[in-house]
Amino acid sequence: MRILQLTKETKHNILNDLLKRSPNHYTEFEDRVADIIAAVRKDQDAAVFSYTKKFDGADITSENVKVTDAEIKEAYAKVDEKLLSVIRKAKENIRIYHEKQKQYSWFDSEESGILLGQKVTAIQTAGVYVPGGKAVYPSSVLMNVLPAKVAGVDRIIMTTPPEADGSVYASTLVAAKEAGVDEIYKVGGAQAIAAMAFGTQSIPKADKIVGPGNIYVALAKKAVFGYVSIDSIAGPSEILVLADETANPRFVAADLLSQAEHDELASAILITTSQTLAKQVSEEIDRFTEVLSRKEIISKSLENYGYILIAETMEEAIAAANDIASEHLEIVTENAYEVMTKIRNAGAIFIGEYSSEPLGDYFAGPNHVLPTNGTAKFFSPLGVDDFIKKSSVISYSKEALEAVYQDIAQFAECEKLTAHANSIRVRFEKESS
């Protein structure tokens, strides 16, 4: 793994390289995605089933597109009891964490006859996309569904690509049932996003679509934003480790590789004040890579987006971490909590050598759907807030309005909006005549 001195130039170059991984740079796929969306809007089920046959090889129709209770029961029979137990433990941790995020309506009233407030309402229908294909993601099901359940969403639908025989991974179905999904549909890719955005004869329209996916899914979510809400346009996975000479190089190397194995565009960065640690971590990475099952993906990821940066001071290292704004940030330093207070930009922060990133991916409770590609500077992890909306509440008595109506009318006339002014004055025309 390459070792570089942290300078303004190296940081600038790394930031530019990382931004190239954003879905916004894959414009060559946009026309194809637009064609799929247009076809689904026009032909609905027929287009969805045609694309499912083309891309997944499955013969899906209106008769079998929806997962049945019998299929879910069969999935439970296939899932190992130990895995089911882990899913249930993780589900409870995730639920408890997100319960603390709940917001409630509030109202303030005054004796003058003014009532102001905010009404918090869950969205009616949430659509959750769960990837299929090369990997199975029951953890993604839990992380996307449980915040919606805690928020009080009325109806949660899920789409996921089928296998060629029309089946869906057993662990995905079990996780969906455990989390409380109401309906599951066998469709993936951009066609699934379009179906949830606009609705078809078989698949209902959602108010918001969440969940990760490949470049086609990401660009489809971007294209339908505005017709529906979305969580984010997620990029490849990232980890940044801040470490000093007290860190265990074997632990650090293992954690960097936990993200590098995702795909060839994943980013793994160590920023350290210790040259000795830098060399030790590089050596450990070489040893681990030789024995790990996804060796080729890891090697490509590290070759493209893997860096060990040596900083002169921890303050310089922290500043670089804030500029990079990584999806996952591990702090493995002597004064880790003090360092944490200086972090402004990170999707999730892991403190101490026993808080490895996969703990957050699967089990601890905080959401693993996180901002990527520097968007942690202005986005937050998926949470309960993503599944609620807020309405302002305003109520004035006649007496309360009478005390201020001339001020409001003057403001409206300043903006040359005379109908605005009239709608206020008309209520007091008798008093002023």
List, for residues 72-131, the tens digit of each pLDDT value: 999 999 999 999 999 999 999 999 999 999 999 999 999 999 999 999 999 999 999 999
Has residue 132 got a pLDDT over 90?
no
**What DSSP designation does 393 have?**
E
Give the span between the Cα atoms of 32 and 383, in whole angstroms: 31
**What DSSP designation does 161 have?**
P
- Least confident interval from 14-28, 45-59, 108-122, 298-312: 14-28
**What DSSP designation does 419 have?**
H
Has residue 180 got a pLDDT over 90?
yes
pLDDT grade, residue 433 (50/70/90)?
Answer: low
Query: What average pLDDT does the segment 407-414 reach?
Result: 96
Phi, psi of 246 (to 5 degrees): -80, -10
Query: What average pLDDT does the segment 148-176 reach?
Result: 96
Give exposure, 279-315, as e/b (b: 16+ Cβ within 10 Å): ebbbebbeebbeebeeeebbbbbbebbbbbbbbeebe
A 10 A CB-CB count for 11 gives 20
E strand residue ranges, 180-266: 183-186, 208-210, 229-230, 238-243
pLDDT grade, residue 411 (50/70/90)?
Answer: very high
pTM assigned to the model: 0.91
Percent of the chain whose pLDDT exceeds 70: 98
Q: What is the pLDDT of residue 44?
A: 98
**Are residues 189 and 162 in contact, defined by beta-carbon separation less than 8 angstroms?**
no
Has residue 135 got a pLDDT over 70?
no
pLDDT, tens digit, 9 for 90 and up, residues 11-21: 888 888 887 77
Question: What are the catalytic residues?
Answer: 327-328
Residues 6+ apart with CB under 8 A from 154: 122, 124, 125
Sign of the dihedral through C-alpha 324, 326, 330, 336? positive
A 10 A CB-CB count for 148 gives 29
Q: What is the pLDDT of residue 257?
A: 95
Residue 395: left (phi > 0), alpha (psi -120 to 50), or beta? beta
Q: What is the pLDDT of residue 29?
A: 87
pLDDT, tens digit, 9 for 90 and up, residues 337-372: 999 999 999 999 999 999 999 999 999 999 999 999
User: In the chain, what's the furthest Cα-to-Cα distance?
Assistant: 90
Give the span between the Cα atoms of 299 and 107, in whole angstroms: 57
**Are residues 180 and 151 in contact, defined by beta-carbon separation less than 8 angstroms?**
no
Q: What is the pLDDT of residue 349?
A: 98
Query: What average pLDDT does the segment 159-174 reach?
Result: 95
Average pLDDT, the chain: 94
Q: What is the pLDDT of residue 364?
A: 95
- CA 270 vs. chain centroid, Å, equals 24
Query: What average pLDDT does the segment 200-220 reach?
Result: 95
Q: What is the pLDDT of residue 235?
A: 80
Q: What is the pLDDT of residue 342?
A: 98
In the block, which residue shows the tokens 């013969």?
59
Has residue 400 got a pLDDT over 70?
yes
